[in-house]
């Protein structure tokens, strides 16, 4: 499917030996994504020469598939006329991505060389909030009129469809650009030529607002198996469409961000291998500091019970298993709740249902763990029965408490408009540690009369 290492080597070899004619011949038969990968392997010099060999249409597609750094190299090497050409050929959302990621001086040159309509469109797109439907939509869609016949629609699509993001879903608008209906190319193809578009269009159109969150938009695509979704402004005017290939990227990004947040990191869209050591450290250190400071609370609690473990030192050796078991139990629950809320399956109104579920799961898991652990302790320390009772009871309570807090904390975060992912394992565990140590040593001082 993708390029093998051997094919890649052969192509870079051709570039090094300056056999550009042969190289061009092979590249022209390849997928644009793969060509961009080949260019990334070449030296800047070689990449520029090779890029200029490509036919114009293919070059634009390859350009869209490149990484920002390489796009910048290409742009720097272009004169104003070439730059104008490529900007006008790019889909508007790709042009916007460029403008958002390149340094200011390059952006200035890009905007200067864009046609005034394109410049306006780019500026409009830049105003949509990050991660909104507006920020991921494209303006390249097919718009039909209700009174067109199927034959006229086909004529229009054949004439105007080449540069559109998709021609398979067409949008029917009135003269004020208000969205009136949607018709698929399949519907058009299955209808007689004289049929009017308004008679076959579906006027019950789903749409997103420009300000809708991309995660919600993705949920709609998933639920209804969509290929494209129109985006309208507050006046219901059609301003763009979101296509499924962008949604696939959104889903990927959102899941990756959640993984990062749930492991106590600032989310980053950049790929791991390309992120600098400094940035990686920066994304991690804040949470590490917060959690280090918070976990000193468990330490302070422990120092209150110094007498207890001075007289029964054995108590200390059970600290890790009580803390870990409580923490693991809690993070199982919180992970399911956080993920369920991210996919839209669990809502705030389910809070009671979820707590009641987790209490019961906690009782079952806690009981099994307690029995197994008691057996082990009885076998290893047959003379310390009371200590075993204290350990096992504390663990049982930590497990149930973990399950309950695993539901309450993320849902409370959501209710407070905070990100539920913040309440994943790291923070939850730190909180649970303190609570389980209070339980453990309270029980110990009470039942063992120490401290």
Q: Which residues inside 283-342 make contact with a second copy, applying CB under 8 A?
A: 284-285, 287-289, 291-293, 295-296, 298-300, 302-303, 306, 309-310, 313-314, 316-321, 323-325, 328-329, 331-332, 334-337, 339-340
- Work out whether 206 is an interface residue with a second copy (CB under 8 A): yes
Subset of residues 267 to 286 that bind a second copy, contact rule: CB under 8 A? 271-273, 277-278, 280-281, 284-285
DSSP for 170-235 reads EEEE-TT-BEEEEEEHHHHHTS-TT-BHHHHSBSS---EETTSBHHHHHHHHHHHT-SEEEEE-TT
Q: What is the rounded distance in angstroms from the CA atom of residue 275 to the CA atom of residue 262?
A: 19
By CB under 8 A, name the one of 190, 385, 386, 415 that touches a second copy.
190
Q: What is the rounded distance in angstroms from the CA atom of residue 414 to the CA atom of residue 426?
A: 17
Contacts of 428 (CB under 8 A, 6+ apart): 327, 330, 331, 334, 402, 405, 406, 409
By CB under 8 A, name the one of 47, 231, 265, 448 that touches a second copy.
265
In the bound complex, what is the minimum distance in angstroms from residue 2's beta carbon to a second copy? 7
Measured from the CB atom, is 302 or 439 closer to a second copy?
A: 302
| Element (DSSP H or E) covering residue 243 | strand 238-243
Q: Considering CB under 8 A, how many residues would be counted as binding a second copy?
A: 115
Instruction: With H, G, I as helix, E, B as strand and everything else as coil, classify residue 149.
Output: strand
Measured from the CB atom, is 136 or 437 closer to a second copy?
A: 437
Name the segment binding a second copy (CB under 8 A); options: 71-79, 105-113, 173-181, 224-232.
224-232
- Distances 192 to 161, 173, 182, 360 between C-alpha atoms, Å: 21, 21, 18, 61
Measured from the CB atom, is 31 or 174 closer to a second copy?
A: 31
Binding mask 143-162 toward a second copy (x if CB under 8 A, else -) reads -----------x--xx--xx
213: exposed, middle or buried (C-beta count within 10 Å: 0-12, 13-18, 19+)? middle
What are the tokens at 117?
């309509």
Say if CB 413 and CB 422 are below 8 A apart. yes
| Element (DSSP H or E) covering residue 424 | none
Name the segment binding a second copy (CB under 8 A); options: 6-14, 100-108, 251-259, 443-451.
251-259
In the bound complex, what is the minimum distance in angstroms from residue 155's beta carbon to a second copy? 11
What is the Rg, in whole angstroms, of the alpha carbon atoms belonging to the chain?
30
- Work out whether 236 is an interface residue with a second copy (CB under 8 A): no
- Work out whether 425 is an interface residue with a second copy (CB under 8 A): yes
Subset of residues 394 to 423 that bind a second copy, contact rule: CB under 8 A? 395, 399
In the bound complex, what is the minimum distance in angstroms from residue 104's beta carbon to a second copy? 29
Measured from the CB atom, is 96 or 358 closer to a second copy?
A: 358
């Amino acid at each position: 499917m993708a390029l093998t290492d051997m094919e890649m080597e052969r192509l870079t070899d051709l570039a090094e030996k300056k056999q550009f004619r042969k190289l061009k011949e092979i590249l022209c038969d390849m997928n644009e994504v793969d060509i961009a990968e080949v260019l990334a392997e070449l030296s800047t010099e070689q990449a520029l020469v090779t890029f200029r060999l490509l036919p114009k249409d293919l070059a634009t597609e390859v350009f869209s598939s490149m990484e920002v750094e390489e796009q910048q190299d290409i742009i720097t090497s272009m004169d104003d006329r070439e730059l104008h050409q490529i900007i006008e050929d790019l889909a508007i959302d790709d042009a916007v991505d460029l403008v958002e990621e390149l340094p200011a001086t390059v952006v200035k040159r890009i905007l200067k060389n864009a046609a005034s309509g394109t410049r306006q469109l780019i500026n409009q797109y830049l105003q949509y909030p990050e991660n909104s439907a507006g920020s991921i939509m494209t303006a390249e869609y097919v718009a039909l009129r209700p009174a067109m016949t199927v034959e006229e629609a086909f004529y229009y699509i054949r004439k105007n469809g080449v540069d559109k993001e998709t021609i398979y879903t067409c949008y029917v608008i009135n003269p004020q650009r208000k969205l009136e209906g949607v018709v698929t190319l399949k519907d058009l193809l299955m209808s007689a030529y004289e049929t009017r578009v308004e008679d076959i269009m579906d006027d019950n159109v789903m749409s997103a607002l420009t300000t809708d969150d991309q995660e919600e938009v993705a949920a709609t695509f998933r639920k209804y198996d969509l290929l494209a979704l129109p985006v309208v402004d507050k006046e219901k005017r059609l301003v763009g469409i979101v296509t499924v290939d962008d949604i696939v990227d959104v889903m990927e990004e959102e899941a990756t961000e959640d993984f990062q947040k749930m492991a106590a990191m600032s989310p980053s869209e950049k790929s791991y291998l390309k992120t600098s050591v400094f940035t990686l450290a920066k994304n991690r250190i804040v949470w590490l500091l917060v959690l280090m400071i918070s976990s000193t609370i468990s330490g302070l609690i422990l120092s209150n019970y110094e007498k207890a473990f001075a007289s029964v030192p054995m108590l200390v050796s059970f600290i890790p298993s009580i803390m870990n078991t409580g923490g693991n139990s809690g993070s199982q629950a919180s992970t399911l709740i956080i993920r369920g809320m991210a996919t839209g399956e669990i809502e705030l109104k389910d809070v009671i249902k979820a707590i009641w579920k987790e209490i019961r799961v906690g009782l079952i898991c806690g009981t099994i763990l307690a029995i197994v652990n008691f057996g082990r302790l009885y076998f290893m320390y047959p003379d310390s029965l009371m200590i075993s009772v204290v350990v096992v009871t504390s663990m049982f309570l930590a497990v149930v408490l973990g399950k309950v807090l695993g539901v309450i904390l993320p849902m409370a975060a959501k209710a407070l408009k905070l990100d539920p992912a913040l309440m994943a394992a790291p923070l939850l565990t730190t909180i649970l540690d303190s609570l389980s140590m209070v339980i453990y040593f309270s029980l110990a001082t009470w039942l063992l009369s120490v401290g």
